[in-house]
Amino acid sequence: MQVIRIMNICGLQKTTLLDYPGRVAATVFTGGCNFRCPFCHNSQLLKEPLTAAYSSEETLAFLTKRKGVLEGVCITGGEPTLCYDLEDFLTEIQALGLAVKLDTNGYNPNVLKRLCDRGLVNYVAMDIKASKENYGKAAGVPKLRIESINESVEFLLSGSVPYEFRTTVVRGLHTSQDFDGIGPWIKGCSEYYLQCFAETGHILAPGLYSAFTKDEMLGFAKQVSPFVGKVVLRGIEY
């Protein structure tokens, strides 16, 4: 059973040019997640009990002061769709005239659909952790319901809201077989991002995994490219 919590804002990046493509944005980090991806680089947001660093009111007051500078807000985590009052929070952000980008693992398709249908999200970045067969291992949830992930994939592919799919590629978790499966699964996607794994100080399972080489990453991109509009590598110069 998933834990639904109020907005638990554990971090706030006041300005970013990277997290929301094409916009000057702030990034709000929510605590708590229903996955335990061993390569997660925000593992400090998973530890219970979680302590909020900012209240919703404090965060909205900051955004109000900065709305002449900011163009958008990225809501990330953790997993934001676990937050009980996310809808109210996004409504307040939209009222400020700021666009909203939502980062999600896609495991709560009903929440994702509702937020998008109500015009509260302008852009979605959804993680594709692995092929369907390897998803439970990559997400750290052995009994994961792949149907929930697939429902979110199909919803985004329908074109209801601008989106991207993205995969953090990890040596020790992924093989070329994953991309044989991912390509047909997300067929028709306009933008797919392959992110090169990097070890950080907050990895959930440190020391177990490493990055693929540039040539290997380019090979994975080539596997998927017949099925999607554009494949972009992140974290690699090429």
Tens of pLDDT, residue by residue over 161-178, are 999 999 999 999 999 999
- 3-class DSSP assignment, residue 233: strand
**Alpha-carbon gap, residue 111 to 35, rounded angstroms:** 16
- Please classify residue 238 by burial: count the beta carbons closer than 10 Å to its beta carbon, then call 0-12 exposed, 13-18 middle and 19+ buried: exposed
Placement of tokens 């070890």 in the chain: 199
The pLDDT of residue 3:
46
- Residue 119 DSSP class: T
Q: Give pLDDT, residue 195.
A: 96
Q: What is the pLDDT of residues 18-34, one digit of tens each?
A: 999 999 999 999 999 99
Whether the Cβ atoms of residue 138 and residue 208 lie closer than 8 Å to each other:
no
Question: What residue ranges in the chain does DSSP mark as E strands?
Answer: 9-16, 25-30, 72-76, 99-104, 123-127, 163-169, 191-196, 230-234
What residue ranges define each of the domains in the chain, with the CATH number in brackets?
9-234 (3.20.20.70)
Task: Give the Cβ contact number of residue 80 at 10 Å.
Answer: 28
Copy the structure tokens of residue 178: 């994953």
CA dist., res. 105 & res. 238, Å (int): 28
Sites in the chain below the pLDDT cut of 70? 1-6, 238
Torsion sign over Cα 168, 171, 172, 177: positive
- 83 strand-pairing partners: 5
The pLDDT of residue 238: 56
For the entire predicted model, the pTM comes to 0.94
